[in-house]
Amino acid sequence: MLAGGRARRLGGADKPAAPVGGRPLIAWVAGAAAGAARLVVVGPPRPGLPGVVVVREDPPGAGPVPALRAGLAEVRAPWAALLAADLPFLRPPHLAALLAEAHRADAPGAVLVDDGGREQWLAGCWRTAPLRAALDVYEGGSLRGLLAPLEPVRVALECRDRPPWYDCDTPEALDHAERVAGSGGEPA
C-alpha cells in the first residue's frame, strides 16, 4: 500500500490519516487487504495498523515507482496488491474479483477501471515475478509506463455510489466520500 505521497492537492495534509466514515482512509484500505499474508505499507509509520511491515522509498516522497520498488522488496507471495492508501470504498470482494479475473485470463495482473474506462494503476493485483522483472528494467517514473506494457486484465465492477477505485485526492473528493459514507453508515 502506497501511503507516503506529498498530498499537494490536500495542502500537504496527511491524506492516509484523513477520516471517512469514522476511520482513517488507510484503515479502510488495510481492511480491504486483510486477507493478505503480509501487509506492506510504504510511507511513515502509522498507529492503528498492527502487524504491518513499514518501509520508505528513497528518498521519501520520491513517487510511486520508487515506492513500489521499496514495497515489492518486502513481498514474499506470488501475488501482490498494489493499492493507494486513499480508497475508502475498496473492500475484500473487490480484490478477490481482481485476483479471479487475472487467474481466469492467465494474465500478469488485473487493474480496476473507473466509470470512464480509465485504468486505476493504484488499485490492482499483480503476479510478483513479472512485476519485479518490469521494475528491474524500468527507468521511468510513471506507474502507467511501468504497468501498461504488462497488459493486465482491465476489470470494471458495478459500484453505484461507492466505487472501489474512488480516491480522495482533493478536499472536495474527501468531503464527497464523507457524505456518501454518512448517507448509509459505513462506506461499504
Is pLDDT above 90 for 184?
A: no
Does the pLDDT value for residue 185 go beyond 50?
no
Cβ atoms of residues 180 and 20 within 8 Å: no
Q: What is the pLDDT of residue 159?
A: 81
Question: What is the C-alpha separation between 185 and 187, in angstroms, rounded?
Answer: 6
The pLDDT of residue 181:
87
Residue pair 153/124 in contact (Cβ under 8 Å)? The answer is no
* Confidence (pLDDT) at 50: 86
Which positions ≥6 away from 77 have C-beta within 8 Å?
Answer: 36, 37, 38, 128
pLDDT (0 to 100) of residue 164: 95
Cross-strand pairs, 82: 124
Q: Which of 6-10, 23-27, 64-68 has the lowest average pLDDT?
A: 6-10
Q: What is the pTM of this model?
A: 0.92
pLDDT at 9: 59
What pLDDT score was predicted for residue 65? 97
| Domains of the chain (ranges, CATH numbers) | 8-183 (3.90.550.10)
Q: What is the 3-state secondary structure (H, E, C) of the chain?
A: CECCCCCHHHCCCCHHHCEECCEEHHHHHHHHCCCCCCCEEECCCCCCCCCCEEECCCCCCCCHHHHHHHHHCCCCCCEEEEEECCCCCCCHHHHHHHHHHHHHHCCCEEEEECCCCCEEEEEEEEEHHHHHHHHHHCCCCCHHHHHHHHCCEEECCCCCCCCCCCCCCCHHHHHHHHHHHHHCCCCC
- Residue 168 near residue 15, CB atoms below 8 Å: yes
- pLDDT tens track for 96-119: 999 999 999 999 999 999 999 999
Q: What is the chain's mean pLDDT, rounded?
A: 91
Q: What is d(CA 128, CA 154) in angstroms, rounded to the nearest whole number?
A: 18
Share of the chain above pLDDT 90, in %: 77
Quick one: pLDDT at residue 137? 97
Please give the Cα distance from 111 to 125 (Å, whole number). Answer: 7
